[in-house]
Structure 1
Amino acid sequence: MNNNSKDLSVGVERAIDSLGRLVLPKEMRNALNFQDNQVVNIKLFKNYIQVEKSIINCNFCDSQEDIIYHKNFPMCRNCLNELIEKFNK
């Protein structure tokens, strides 16, 4: 993470609760297009923590588009439809 002024467009102080939770401000979530229950990667560096969207790929074709889960198994809708067609024959 660079400390350029364009990287630090919004500064907000928040308290960490007794369970270690921190609320990301809605404006920041909106700016990054975070959805409810967004899966994120959290990385610890020497002086800071980085939070970023996880990139989820289909386990069959590696696509990142239109991902759904079945028993914690990510797949795209195209592969799901192919599986449905195959097992409906």
Structure 2
Amino acid sequence: MSHPRLTWQSALMRTLIGVVGGVVLAHCFMVGTAAALTAAGWMARADAVVTAGMLAFLVWAGAVLLAFAAASARRAAGWSLGSASGFALLGWICLHG
């Protein structure tokens, strides 16, 4: 079974998706998680922000790994931006709902 070669353009695109898309995903995850924890009454706002911030680093690292594990760069971008928009929507609902 032959595997497609990773060209330098694909590697550059996946690196940008992993780093920039991962930061956007981690930020949206942090906002959504902190807002949900606060809205549910499980934590005070400051504790929820610190907890979500620590977990966001793991999300960012996972997004970088996902960028290279995905079948294509387009699919990696879709996963990152789709997940980010879901967490952003969660944060918006918790803050304004």
Is the TM value for this pair above 0.5? no
TM-score interval for Structure 1 and Structure 2 normalised by the shorter chain: under 0.3
Query: When the two structures are superposed, what TM-score results if normalisation uses the length of structure 2?
Result: 0.26
Q: Which has the higher contact order (CA 8 A, sep 6+)?
A: 2
Query: When the two structures are superposed, what TM-score results if normalisation uses the length of structure 1?
Result: 0.28
Give the greater-gyration-radius structure (CA): 1
The structure whose residues are more often helix, as a share, is: 2
